[in-house]
Amino acid sequence: MCDNDISVQNANIGGNFAGRDYNLNNSLNINNAYERSAYLQNLYEKVQREISENKKLREFCEDFNYINSDKDVIGLEEKLKNGSRENLIDWAKEAKERFHKKLFKHTQLSFSAQQINAYILSNIKRTFIEEIYVQICNNVPQEQINTLITERIIKPIKAELGINLFQYNDADIQGMIYFLTGNCHIKWSS
């Protein structure tokens, strides 16, 4: 570390956090509506322990198997066509494939990694069905649906990921939606 470097870890700060020149009149107050999940934080720690112990895990948790099931599927392309989103097919297939590769890589590392991904995917599925799909059925314009997806799925999931051990970005979270679409968990038309 250089002489000016600062490192703060596992800190709980009450009040302000300033090195010097703190001015009450010029302070910045940021209030995030999203919080990091303690559940995910604990699982992240388990993943890191399991990776460091170099365990060869082959079993999948039941929730993950359900989400990743090979049931009778209509398919991503057909579902997007049914939802009048043909313009997204190429992007959706690419995002789904990119996420699927990351998913496969991470779930081979540990049982906890499988649990994290099952947790994230089930939250996306629930939010999509309860908040987005309802609007699709009410014929809300696609632009508003896209905004809802960003505000109700992408931003909250990114915030909840916390340290984001798997380095999921916005495109990966979109890929999760298309992964769920392709595996018949969500649909884009009423």
pLDDT at 22 over 50: no
- Half-sphere exposure (Cβ direction) of 188: Cα atoms closer than 13 Å: 28
> Rounded CA gap, 102 and 89, in Å?
20
Segment holding 8, helix H or strand E: none
DSSP structural state of residue 10:
S
Report residue 172's pLDDT band, with 50, 70 and 90 as the boundaries.
very high
pLDDT at 40 over 80: yes
Q: Does residue 187 lie in a domain region?
A: no
| Structural domain count, the chain | 1
Report residue 7's pLDDT band, with 50, 70 and 90 as the boundaries.
low
Exposure of 150 by Cβ count < 10 A (0-12 exposed, 13-18 middle, 19+ buried)?
A: middle
Domain span at residue 148 reads 38-182
Q: Does residue 177 lie in a domain region?
A: yes
Q: How many CB atoms sit inside 10 A of residue 78's CB? A: 14
Q: What is the pTM of this model?
A: 0.66
Q: Does residue 33 lie in a domain region?
A: no
In the prediction, which pLDDT does 75 show?
Answer: 84
pLDDT at 26 over 50: no
Q: Does residue 21 lie in a domain region?
A: no
Segment holding 13, helix H or strand E: none
Q: Does residue 8 lie in a domain region?
A: no
Q: What is the mean pLDDT of the chain?
A: 79
Query: And the tokens for 41?
Result: 């934080």
Q: Does residue 11 lie in a domain region?
A: no
Interval 80-95 mean pLDDT? 95
In the prediction, which pLDDT does 114 show?
Answer: 84
In the prediction, which pLDDT does 42 show?
Answer: 84
pLDDT at 57 over 60: no
Task: Report CA-CA distances (Å) from 24 to 13, 19, 20, 29.
Answer: 17, 14, 12, 11
pLDDT at 98 over 60: yes
Q: Does residue 30 lie in a domain region?
A: no
Report the percentage of the chain scoring pLDDT > 70: 68
Q: Per-residue pLDDT tens for 100-131?
A: 999 888 877 677 888 889 899 999 999 999 99
In the prediction, which pLDDT does 156 show?
Answer: 96
pLDDT at 83 over 50: yes
DSSP structural state of residue 108:
T
Report residue 91's pLDDT band, with 50, 70 and 90 as the boundaries.
very high
Q: Does residue 9 lie in a domain region?
A: no
pLDDT at 81 over 90: yes
